[in-house]
Structure 1
Amino acid sequence: MGRNSFTRVALTLGLALCAASAHAQSGAPGLTRPVVLKPFDAGAPACAKPPNLARVIAFAQDNDRQFMQGVARGLAAAAKDRNLEFRAAVAGNNSAKMAEDIRAFRREKVGAVIAAPIDSVSLAPELQDTIWSGSYVGTIVPPPATSLLNAPQYLTGKVLADVAAAYIRERLGGRARVVLLTHDTLQFLAPRFVAMRDVLRTLPGVTIVADISPLTVNEQGGAEMMRTILLANPDVDVVLGADTVVLGALDALRQAGKARDNQFLGGIDGEPRAIEEIKKNGPYKASVSLSSPVFSYAMGQHAADWLDGKSIPQAMDILPVALTAKTMSSYEKDQADPAAVYRDAARRDSYLKMYGNICYDTRDQYINFPWSSERR
């Protein structure tokens, strides 16, 4: 799960519970203490259908970036396949507008609301009221939700580091000078870089010449940090981090005449420019992506199941996928047809892992703590 998709909500994730507790309680508080959820049981008994709700899936969308456009596309496809209406309200990064959008959905008795929170603190009470009304509430990362999703951050970093390690062994003779452009100041994302260090530590010929967070997590920040690193370490073989900063590092390497096709630059996010660079077969070799159309199509299916009185997962892992020149075509095929992925259990399980069970009758068990499947 990349920075552009999840970092903002991570910054306020822990505060969401405070907002919920300050909100006048008109229903159950949900699960407020961390629990380990069992694997999802697709054969769990059905329960009552939520009464008096419109068969509508509504998306409270933070902005129009490509990742969120993919979320909207997957939700719309699921709604169409289940004969539901789909609506999207784009908040334009305005948290007050998003809260009002969700209040409007609730007044209209919308049966399912999916939110990509801008400010999880202010939005938590609105989501909680929507849960108490009986609607399905799905969120991208923060609680509260009847069904939320997250990316296992350690695994995300490990997937990228494993691809880099294989390249170092096979193409660089086991020796490499490595730069890690980190986000260690963001606790939510720090496990990614713990995983990278753990993997690289297994290669005795690897030297980490820089392990540092850029001042700004964007292409400019990555470029400025890389220029500084090159002053002391002019020859770099591997650069790892989020796509946006690694793309900036690539620009700095090119400007300094230090970019080589046998380098390994790899990032996390599946940014469009990173994908373009991978297809060029140059220094950029991999990007770890989280398929938004696939996971949102699953959320749309679960929303429809909820309205039909079925038991659905309480939480989902979005599993990281390593995009390389070899895997790109199959990934792009899956992105284009998330319904086909969902219908194929093996393909679906390569993208998603589901946990817990909840339905209308057990909605008091909604997740109201910052959930992760990883115990690190």
Structure 2
Amino acid sequence: MISGRTLPGLVAACLLAASPMGHAQSPTPPGPQGIVVPTVFPPFDANAPTCTPPPGLHRVLAFAQDNEREFMQGVARGLALAARDRGLEYRIALARNDAALMIEQVRQFRSAGVGAVVTAPVDPASLAPSLQQLMWGGSYVGAVVPPPATEILNAPQYLTGKVLGDAAAAYIRDRLRGRAKVVLLTHDSLQFLAPRFVAMRDSLKTIPGVTIVADLSPQTVNKEGGNAAMRTILLAHPTVDVVLGADTVVLGALEALRAAGKARNDQFLGGIDGEPEAVAEIKKGGPYKASISLASPIFAYALGQHAADWLEGKSVPQAMDILPSALSLANIARYEADVADPGSVYRDPVRRAEYLRMYGNICYDTRDQYVNFPWSSERRP
């Protein structure tokens, strides 16, 4: 098996961890350190008392965006729609996977008095001090997974991976006669996402005929990274039956399989994120069989609404779950309608509850209680 920890020679040189964690961490300036001990938050109370609107800040919602993969484009679209609906100016700062550039962009937001920032960090550790400075100054900070933030967004990562792993396991049993060569394209270097791959491995362990021939993290979490990883894997294992990972890297792996003439309609390629290109591949009825939706425009719209609430002195959630669901030909049409109009989903409590679950309460007056630990609602063994 090719492993991300035991790759020899050339493979080790070209298949590194998904997140560039080698940047030096800036010293944390003095100020409240937030909630650093893992805490179970109660359900969000939408009727919590209002408090002081943050003074001296502009009604601007900014997105510190790591890269342009489709999942993040969905985040950007949801934020833009929420900003439009709430009368906020909207800005994007694209870091293009450059951690140092993202730090500078966030510092510029602070200097400009931006009232709300949502971030998808390139390197969470090095960005953390800049985010803390924003929060100490009264700005709302929403984070897509890593702390620190006023509001942490996360998926139940083990459950997310289990939904995909179970779908793959069922396909192997029913369609591949219980035997399959499997590739896992992981993000194990990101502790926040690692549980989804633990779950996939747990699901696959239930089938004796499964061989995991590669278990590694592509150099970059995008199509190019997935394509490069798959090309290397095919040199050692020219026959692959199952590929699992994030949609963007699995789509890259599919490109490599097709280029090598190794793509087959009886393969099971499955990803996480519900990216539009993955949905399109599922509709074709080819190798791509499943995508676990995290509905990025819908959760982003919710973050944008919470940012506007914060600036008006309202209480907002400290944490929010994105609930995973497996997309299939039977439910794709409804899903596409929902992500096309996230505002209508957010305004409908029943529909919203299918995608999101909210916890805790925080506002400007209690901003010292920001989340500064890797939050998850899951309590798995």
TM-score, with normalisation over the residues of structure 2? 0.83
1:208 counterpart residue number: 211
Helix, strand or coil at the partner of 2:352: helix
2:302 counterpart residue number: 298
Structure 1 residue identity aligned to 2:230: G
Q: Residues 305-324 of structure 1 correspond to what in structure 2 (within 5 A)?
A: 305-324=309-328
Structure 1 residue identity aligned to 2:298: V
Comparing 310-319 with 40-49, which one deviates more in the overlay?
Answer: 40-49
Measured after TM superposition, the shift of residue 302 of structure 1 is 0.5
1:3 counterpart residue number: none
Structure 1 residue identity aligned to 2:360: G
Structure 2 residue identity aligned to 1:84: L
Q: 2:342 aligns with which of 335, 338, 344?
A: 338
Q: What is the distance in 2 between the residues matched to 1:78 and 1:222?
A: 38
1:23 counterpart residue number: 28
Structure 2 residue identity aligned to 1:118: V
Comparing 237-246 with 250-259, which one deviates more in the overlay?
Answer: 250-259
Q: 1:37 aligns with which of 34, 41, 52?
A: 41
Q: 1:177 aligns with which of 148, 167, 180?
A: 180
Measured after TM superposition, the shift of residue 253 of structure 1 is 5.2
Q: What is the distance in 2 between the residues matched to 1:242 and 1:357?
A: 31
2:378 counterpart residue number: 374
Moved >6 Å (runs of 4+): none
After superposition, the Cα gap between the structure-2 partners of 1:111 and 1:325, relative to the gap in structure 1 and judged at 3 Å, is: same
Comparing 284-293 with 57-66, which one deviates more in the overlay?
Answer: 57-66
Measured after TM superposition, the shift of residue 252 of structure 1 is 5.8
After superposition, the Cα gap between the structure-2 partners of 1:273 and 1:303, relative to the gap in structure 1 and judged at 3 Å, is: closer
Q: What is the distance in 2 between the residues matched to 1:120 and 1:169?
A: 39
Helix, strand or coil at the partner of 1:134: coil
Q: What is the distance in 2 between the residues matched to 1:58 and 1:253?
A: 38
Q: What is the distance in 1 between the residues matched to 2:320 and 2:210?
A: 36
After superposition, the Cα gap between the structure-2 partners of 1:199 and 1:75, relative to the gap in structure 1 and judged at 3 Å, is: same
1:125 counterpart residue number: 129
Q: Residues 1-376 of structure 1 correspond to what in structure 2 (within 5 A)?
A: 7-8=18-19, 11=21, 19=26, 22-25=27-30, 27-172=31-176, 175-183=178-186, 185-186=188-189, 188=191, 189-203=193-207, 206-208=209-211, 210-213=213-216, 216=219, 217-230=225-238, 234=239, 237-247=241-251, 249-250=253-254, 254=258, 259-376=263-380
Measured after TM superposition, the shift of residue 341 of structure 1 is 1.3
2:78–2:342 Cα contact (<8 Å) kept: yes
Measured after TM superposition, the shift of residue 260 of structure 1 is 3.6
After superposition, the Cα gap between the structure-2 partners of 1:201 and 1:95, relative to the gap in structure 1 and judged at 3 Å, is: closer
Q: What is the distance in 2 between the residues matched to 1:258 and 1:94?
A: 34
Measured after TM superposition, the shift of residue 255 of structure 1 is 6.2
Helix, strand or coil at the partner of 1:114: strand
After superposition, the Cα gap between the structure-2 partners of 1:343 and 1:358, relative to the gap in structure 1 and judged at 3 Å, is: same
Q: What is the distance in 2 between the residues matched to 1:220 and 1:197?
A: 23
Measured after TM superposition, the shift of residue 323 of structure 1 is 2.4
State, as a whole percentage, how many aligned pairs show the same letter: 61
After superposition, the Cα gap between the structure-2 partners of 1:118 and 1:199, relative to the gap in structure 1 and judged at 3 Å, is: closer
After superposition, the Cα gap between the structure-2 partners of 1:120 and 1:192, relative to the gap in structure 1 and judged at 3 Å, is: closer
After superposition, the Cα gap between the structure-2 partners of 1:223 and 1:100, relative to the gap in structure 1 and judged at 3 Å, is: closer
After superposition, the Cα gap between the structure-2 partners of 1:113 and 1:229, relative to the gap in structure 1 and judged at 3 Å, is: same
Measured after TM superposition, the shift of residue 41 of structure 1 is 2.0
Q: What is the distance in 1 between the residues matched to 2:144 and 2:230?
A: 27
After superposition, the Cα gap between the structure-2 partners of 1:131 and 1:252, relative to the gap in structure 1 and judged at 3 Å, is: closer
Q: What's the C-alpha RMSD, in Å, of the aligned pairs? A: 2.9
1:309–1:359 Cα contact (<8 Å) kept: yes
Measured after TM superposition, the shift of residue 247 of structure 1 is 4.0
Measured after TM superposition, the shift of residue 214 of structure 1 is 6.3
1:314–1:356 Cα contact (<8 Å) kept: yes
- Structure 2 unaligned spans of 5+: 1-16, 220-224
After superposition, the Cα gap between the structure-2 partners of 1:222 and 1:79, relative to the gap in structure 1 and judged at 3 Å, is: same
Measured after TM superposition, the shift of residue 274 of structure 1 is 2.9
1:102-159 Cα offsets, whole Å, 9 max, x none, are: 3333233222122222232332222111111112111222222111212322112111
Comparing 73-82 with 162-171, which one deviates more in the overlay?
Answer: 162-171
1:33–1:369 Cα contact (<8 Å) kept: yes
Measured after TM superposition, the shift of residue 90 of structure 1 is 2.7
Corresponding pairs, count: 358
TM-score, with normalisation over the residues of structure 1? 0.84
